[in-house]
Amino acid sequence: MLSLLEFLCVAAIATAICANPIFRQWFRDLSSKSQLSLIGLIALIVAGHFARSSNVTFPFVTWDMYTEVATPSTLNRVELEGVTEDGESISINPSRLFPSLGFGTLRIHNLLHSICTRAMSEKTALSESEHALLVAIAVSYERQNPGIELKSISMLWVELPFRQPAKEPRIVETIML
């Protein structure tokens, strides 16, 4: 039923365009080869729109990403937590540590998320550069907060399931400073 309604709307728009005298004159001035090419292209676009499989009709898409509701089961994020000499846990936000990077802080978050995802799925230790990144974040935190010395920094994987209570964060890696 929805496809029929869409088709009727497309037909109504096409009729309105074709009824326009300026369009008709412009179309008549085209060579017959150009007219056929234009009609063929429009037919392909419309046919591609009504075919409900983007894999078959590429490059004409059905825009399914706008018609289906995304329902992920969980939302995952990475948190950084520092522990002071007194044993106090402090949440560390790289965006606040490096505000001059602007959108560059998104790269840090994406990198941390990738590191965490890989470490959890492959059960491998952090590489030297990944270890250095976490140490640099901890050192930057200490510079911006004089008087606070961190003894460790931990990368936590937080899963937030939809419609269920939140799970306890899992420690992916703890680095002693």
Per-residue pLDDT tens digits for 50-67: 766 666 666 666 666 666
pLDDT in the model for residue 1: 61
Task: Give the SS3 label for residue 75.
Answer: strand
65: tokens are: 């990403």
Q: Is the bond leading into 99 cis (omega within 30 degrees of zero)?
A: no
Domain match, 48 and 98 both: no
Domain match, 93 and 124 both: yes
**How many domains does the chain fold into?**
2
CA dihedral (46, 51, 54, 55) positive or negative = negative
80: tokens are: 């950084």
Task: Report the b/e string of 32-42 with b at 16+ CB within 10 A.
Answer: eeeeeeeeeee
Domain match, 79 and 59 both: no
pLDDT in the model for residue 20: 93
Domain span at residue 171 reads: 74-176
Whose structure tokens read 């412009």?
A: 26
Select from 17, 46, 66 the last residue of a domain: 66
pLDDT in the model for residue 66: 67
Select from 48, 66, 84 the last residue of a domain: 66
Domain match, 53 and 128 both: no
Select from 36, 66, 96 the last residue of a domain: 66
Beta bridge partners of 161: 74
Q: What angle, 0 to 180 degrees and rounded to 10, lies between the N-to-C axes of helices 2-19 and 32-50?
A: 160
Domain match, 82 and 99 both: yes
pLDDT in the model for residue 155: 86
pLDDT in tens, 143-162: 998 888 899 888 888 887 77
Domain match, 43 and 78 both: no
Domain match, 137 and 95 both: yes
Residues of the chain with pLDDT under 50: none
pLDDT in the model for residue 52: 65
- In a 10 Å sphere around its CB, with 0-12 CB exposed, 13-18 middle and 19+ buried, how is residue 152 labelled? middle
CA dihedral (131, 148, 93, 79) positive or negative = positive
Strand pairing class (74-84; 150-161): antiparallel
